[in-house]
């Protein structure tokens, strides 16, 4: 019993101290952003590896998610003779929920894990330490550009995901199942609200980009510098990002759509 309590106390203390380190890390990272801006090259390189290289997985996944939505939506809506509203259904589910959530999950798996492994290995091979000894702050030089890149890429990738998904829904809906194409687009145009749907989706993706980049970079920076430590850190990045994304999605949805 006592042992259990002691263990509980120990792990609670460990998680609070980790939370503290993570917060401190975030503050340093945000403070470092100021010195990234005069050197756009650092940012561009990271935008490429974090953002551009995630294009393919995001586009293909978006296409399939949209196509599945088109199929499922069609079978339900056709029962009510409301196939015309397929466009609304596909677009609303993508823009409000699936776009931000699924692309953030994919992003955590594709880019987040890569960032953690990269930073963890840089730590293990003393590259971060070496930079410090060369009077170069690794937070400013390595962490902040990656953070900014992740934060900027996420909304763009989400937008791409949603757009391709909507096209996928249209391909299945009007291409295969015969929904009127004009109806698909015009209903969507009429029913989707710029503020309620699109902006809220963008807010979500911004929040997810922030949290995923933070988790990925912190886990790498805080990793135990051994091969086992890095593998654990990478796993933690994916798991913690997934939890945070899904949990935050619920909270954000409740805040945004709760009162109407």
Sites of contact with another protein (CB under 8 A): 122, 125-127, 129-137, 141
Q: Shortest approach of another protein to residue 184 CB, angstroms?
A: 46
Closer residue to another protein (CB): 96 or 123: 123
**C-beta closer to another protein: residue 74 or 147:** 147
CB of 236 to another protein, least distance (A): 23
For tokens 């949990």, what's the residue? Answer: 247
In the bound state with another protein, the residue whose beta carbon lies nearer, of 126 and 181, is 126
Q: Would you say 14 or 251 has its CB closer to another protein?
A: 14
Closest to another protein by CB, 49 vs 78, is 49
Quote the least distance from Cβ 52 to another protein, whole Å: 16
As a residue count, the chain comes to 260
State which residue, 131 or 206, has the beta carbon closest to another protein: 131
> Residue 135 CB, nearest distance to another protein (Å)?
4
Please spell the DSSP secondary structure of the chain, one letter per residue. -HHHHHHHHHHHHHHHHHHHHHHHHHHHHHHHGGGTTT-HHHHHHHIIIIIGGGHHHHHHHHHHHHHHHHHHHHHHHHHTT-GGGHHHHHHHIIIIIIHHHHHHHHHIIIIIHHHHHHHHHHHHTTHHHHHHHTT--HIIIIIHHHHHHHHHHHHHHHHHHHHHHHHHHHIIIIIIS---HHHHHHHHHHH--IIIIIIHHHHHHHHHHHHHHHHHHHHHHTS-SSHHHHHHHHHHHHHHHHHHHHHHHHHHHHHHHTT-
Q: Which is nearer to another protein, 23 or 129 (CB)?
A: 129
Q: Phi-psi region for residue 243, left (φ > 0), alpha (ψ -120 to 50) or beta?
A: alpha
Name the minimum Å distance from CB 245 to another protein: 29
- In the complex, minimum distance from the CB of residue 127 to another protein, in angstroms, rounded to a whole number: 5
Residue indicated by tokens 């940012």: 43
CB of 128 to another protein, least distance (A): 9
């Amino acid at each position: 019993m006592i042992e259990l309590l002691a263990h509980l106390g120990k792990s609670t203390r460990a998680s609070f101290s980790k939370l503290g380190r993570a917060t401190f890390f975030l503050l340093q990272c945000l403070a470092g952003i100021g010195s990234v801006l005069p050197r756009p090259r650092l940012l561009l390189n990271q935008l490429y590896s974090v953002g551009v290289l995630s294009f393919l997985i995001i586009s293909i996944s978006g296409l399939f998610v949209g196509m599945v939505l088109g199929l499922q939506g069609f079978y339900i809506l056709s029962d009510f003779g409301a196939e015309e509203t397929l466009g609304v259904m596909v677009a609303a589910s993508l823009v409000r929920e699936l776009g931000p959530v699924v692309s953030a999950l994919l992003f955590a798996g594709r880019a987040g894990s890569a960032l953690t492994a990269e930073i963890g290995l840089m730590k293990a091979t003393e590259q971060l330490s070496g930079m410090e000894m060369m009077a170069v702050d690794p937070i400013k030089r390595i962490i902040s550009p990656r953070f900014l890149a992740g934060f900027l890429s996420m909304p763009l990738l989400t937008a791409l995901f949603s757009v391709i998904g909507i096209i996928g829904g249209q391909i299945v809906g009007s291409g295969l199942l015969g929904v009127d194409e004009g109806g698909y687009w015009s209903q969507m145009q009429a029913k989707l609200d710029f503020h309620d749907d699109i902006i809220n989706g963008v807010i979500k993706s911004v929040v997810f980009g922030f949290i995923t980049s933070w988790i990925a970079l912190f886990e790498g920076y805080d990793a135990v510098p051994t091969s086992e430590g890095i593998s654990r850190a990478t796993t933690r990045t994916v798991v913690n990002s997934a939890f945070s994304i899904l949990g935050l999605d619920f909270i954000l949805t409740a805040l945004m759509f709760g009162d109407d």
